[in-house]
């Protein structure tokens, strides 16, 4: 297929394109959902298509087709070139492409068990085992949802810089959500596993332990008390630390936001934005993480990008376009949801790096405060730099000891203000899985997380 894509690239250049890339994608998805002992959703789908992108006089044109014949691909190239030519008359800025070394490579994901090789009946048994384990944990569990998903993607890409690439991405995931009820009060417990791994993720998991954890958490939350409120010392877990890394610092470090002056970090390079304990990284090369990609949607190899180092802001994540605009090196963060969508600067796995504290030491070193656990939601604010998150639960800390379990609460503050007060970071580290939209659209898989971190944060009562 790559040879056919190269022909389209040549054709786009003959039309007058200054740069062209052509990307083939095939995506296969299988999903199973069981709700309270009954199958709610069981779907299998496959979708494929080709994206043709052409640059002319500093403007992009993008066209796509789900028919891979020579004529349809040439037609897409014509449409892309026409769009670029029309847009160039109205384009404010002129798009450049950096000089890069062409890559010719084919890569295969390293997995132990391909999910497609496992019989559907076995997958159904696993999901029903998760459902049963939740039900049998406690009579107060009144609702339970169990999910399984596998996604297999194949990519091929050629561009006018000489790149010829093919690679695949395989992700497997499953989850359990339990709701407990007592005296009119409902509480939630959940657990989730996902990554760029095969069916071995299922084989390595005991469904009773996995689902039991979600159900026990829901029941435990029935006895949680009202949380404290006001400014205080808060130890956030890797989940909430990842939310701060991703929603505020991460989105504001996407270079297309910087160029559009939609980032509060536009002028931050070289400045202090956190304590010396704070190092923030985006790394798409981490084995098995959900945001790991061999190449981005432009064919740039995934890489490790240091955004903050020991409290000093270092720089941004880039696509080809933003790298050229800011005279920087592409970082492998040009990502598109699929062949019908444009390329944006997007995160991969974004996290704070661990240090050398133990969690127990952080708690014992805190006179009064709060241990915040499990993010439910967070607010994206790359323009204002505000942090707002909701935690599922937490524990009060009194005189260096973990005390009462508290129910859901909010955490707020300015991101830089919070990071500058970070005075303890754990050696415990965890990456979690998720999906991310640019605004509310263009969803891609990402990883977020980090260590436990202690800082001054405003807590809002539940």
Number of domains in the chain: 2
Residues of the chain whose pLDDT is less than 70?
A: 439, 462
Q: Which domain holds residue 400?
A: 230-460
Report d(CA 1, CA 7) in Å as an integer. 10
Whether residue 67 is found in the same domain as residue 14: yes
Query: Whose CA is closest to 346, among 438, 225, 211?
Result: 438
Whether residue 87 is found in the same domain as residue 195: yes
Whether residue 217 is found in the same domain as residue 257: no
Whether residue 210 is found in the same domain as residue 242: no
Whether residue 200 is found in the same domain as residue 237: no
- Residue 99: per-residue pLDDT: 86
Whether residue 190 is found in the same domain as residue 320: no
Report d(CA 20, CA 76) in Å as an integer. 12
Whether residue 141 is found in the same domain as residue 243: no
Report d(CA 256, CA 136) in Å as an integer. 50
Q: Looking at the whole model, is its pTM more than 0.85?
A: yes
Any idea what the CATH number is for the domain that residue 25 is in? 3.30.2290.10
Angle (nearest 5°) at CA 359 between 356 and 360: 115
Report d(CA 126, CA 120) in Å as an integer. 10
C-alpha separations of 240 from 31, 218, 223, 266 in Å: 28, 19, 22, 24
pLDDT (tens digit, 9 = 90+) per residue, 43-59?
Answer: 999 999 999 999 999 89
331 within 8 A of 265, measured Cβ to Cβ: no
Whether residue 237 is found in the same domain as residue 218: no
Whether residue 192 is found in the same domain as residue 268: no
Whether residue 74 is found in the same domain as residue 211: yes
- Residue 461: per-residue pLDDT: 74
Whether residue 276 is found in the same domain as residue 407: yes
- Residue 417: per-residue pLDDT: 97
**Residue 237 backbone phi and psi in degrees, to 5:** -85, 175
Which of 204, 223, 242 finishes a domain? Answer: 223
Report d(CA 461, CA 396) in Å as an integer. 13
- Residue 94: per-residue pLDDT: 76
Q: Is 420 exposed, middle or buried (0-12, 13-18, 19+ CB in 10 A)?
A: middle
- Residue 95: per-residue pLDDT: 80
Q: Which residues contact 191 (CB under 8 A, 6 or more apart)?
A: 175, 176, 210, 211, 213, 214, 217
- Residue 96: per-residue pLDDT: 87
Which of 223, 247, 273 finishes a domain? Answer: 223
Query: Whose CA is closest to 133, among 145, 122, 123?
Result: 145
Helix axis angle, 120-137 to 207-220, nearest 10°: 30
- Residue 462: per-residue pLDDT: 62
- Residue 223: per-residue pLDDT: 96
Which of 188, 204, 223 finishes a domain? Answer: 223
Whether residue 245 is found in the same domain as residue 205: no
């Amino acid at each position: 297929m790559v040879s056919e894509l190269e022909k389209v690239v040549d054709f786009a250049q003959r039309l007058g394109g200054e740069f062209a890339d052509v990307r083939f994608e095939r995506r296969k998805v299988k999903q199973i959902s069981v709700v309270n002992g009954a199958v709610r959703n069981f779907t299998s789908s496959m979708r494929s298509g080709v994206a043709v992108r052409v640059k002319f006089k500093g403007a992009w044109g993008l066209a796509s087709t789900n028919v891979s014949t020579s004529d349809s691909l040439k037609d897409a190239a014509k449409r892309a070139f026409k769009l670029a030519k029309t847009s160039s008359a109205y384009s404010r800025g002129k798009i450049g492409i950096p000089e890069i070394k062409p890559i010719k490579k084919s890569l295969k994901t390293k997995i132990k068990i391909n999910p497609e090789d496992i019989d559907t009946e076995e997958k159904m048994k696993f999901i029903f085992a998760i459902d049963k384990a939740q039900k049998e944990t406690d009579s107060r569990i009144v609702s339970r949802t169990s999910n399984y998903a596998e996604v297999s993607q194949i990519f091929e890409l050629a561009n006018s810089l000489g790149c010829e690439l093919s690679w695949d991405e395989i992700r497997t995931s499953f989850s359990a959500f339990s709701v407990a009820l007592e005296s009119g009060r409902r509480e939630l417990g959940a657990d989730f596993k996902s990554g760029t791994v095969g069916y071995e993720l299922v084989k390595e998991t005991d469904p009773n332990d996995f689902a039991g954890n979600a159900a026990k958490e829901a029941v435990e939350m029935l006895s949680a008390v009202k949380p404290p409120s006001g400014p205080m010392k808060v130890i956030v877990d890797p989940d909430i630390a990842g939310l701060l890394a991703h929603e505020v610092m991460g989105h504001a470090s996407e270079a297309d936001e910087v160029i559009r002056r939609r980032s509060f970090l536009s002028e931050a390079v070289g400045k202090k934005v956190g304590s010396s304990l704070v190092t923030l990284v985006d790394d798409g090369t981490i084995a098995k993480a959900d945001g790991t990609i061999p190449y981005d949607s432009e064919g740039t190899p995934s890489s490790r990008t240091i955004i903050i180092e020991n409290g000093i802001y270092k720089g941004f994540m880039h696509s080809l376009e933003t790298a050229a605009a800011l005279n920087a090196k592409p970082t492998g963060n040009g990502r598109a949801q699929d062949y019908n969508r444009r390329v944006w600067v997007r995160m991969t796995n974004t996290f704070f790096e661990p240090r050398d504290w133990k969690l127990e030491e952080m708690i014992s070193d805190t006179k009064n405060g709060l241990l915040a656990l499990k993010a439910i939601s967070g607010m994206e604010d790359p323009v204002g730099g505000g942090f707002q998150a909701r935690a599922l639960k937490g524990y009060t800390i009194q005189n260096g000891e973990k005390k009462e379990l508290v129910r859901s609460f909010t955490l707020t503050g300015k991101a830089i203000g919070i990071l500058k007060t970070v005075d303890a970071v754990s050696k415990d580290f965890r990456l979690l899985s998720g999906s991310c939209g640019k605004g509310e659209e263009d969803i891609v898989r990402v990883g977020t997380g980090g260590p436990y971190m202690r800082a001054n944060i405003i807590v809002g009562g539940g």
